[in-house]
C-alpha cells in the first residue's frame, strides 16, 4: 500500500499544476481511504515531508519532478 505522501505526489504529478490541499485530499481519498478526523492536515503534512513536492502558496502544493 502506498503512503499518503506518495499518492499525493502521484496526483500532483498527473495534475501538472499546483493544487490546494482540499482538492488534493479529495483526489487522494479516491485512491486510499482516510479514517482520521483531520484528513487535510494529514495530506498537508505528507506534502511537506516529500522531497519532490513544494509549497507554492498557503495550502497549495506542486510536484517538482
- Check which CATH number belongs to the domain holding 56 and give it: 1.10.10
Between vectors from CA 1 to CA 49 and to CA 38, what angle results, nearest 5°? 50
The confidence score (pLDDT) of residue 12 equals 98
The confidence score (pLDDT) of residue 20 equals 98
The number of distinct structural domains making up the chain is 1
* 1 pLDDT above the threshold of 90: no
Q: Residue 29 sits in which domain range?
A: 4-63
pTM of the model: 0.92
Per-residue pLDDT of 4-53, as tens digits, reads 999 999 999 999 999 999 999 999 999 999 988 999 999 999 999 999 99
The confidence score (pLDDT) of residue 65 equals 82
Q: Contact at 8 Å (CB) between 36 and 42?
A: yes
Amino acid at each position: 500500500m502506498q503512503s499518503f505522501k506518495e499518492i499525493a505526489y502521484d496526483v500532483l504529478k498527473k495534475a501538472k499544476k499546483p493544487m490546494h490541499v482540499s482538492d488534493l485530499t479529495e483526489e487522494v481519498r479516491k485512491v486510499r481511504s482516510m479514517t482520521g478526523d483531520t484528513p487535510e492536515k494529514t495530506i498537508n503534512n505528507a506534502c511537506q515531508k516529500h522531497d519532490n513536492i513544494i509549497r507554492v502558496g498557503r495550502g497549495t502544493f506542486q510536484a517538482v519532478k
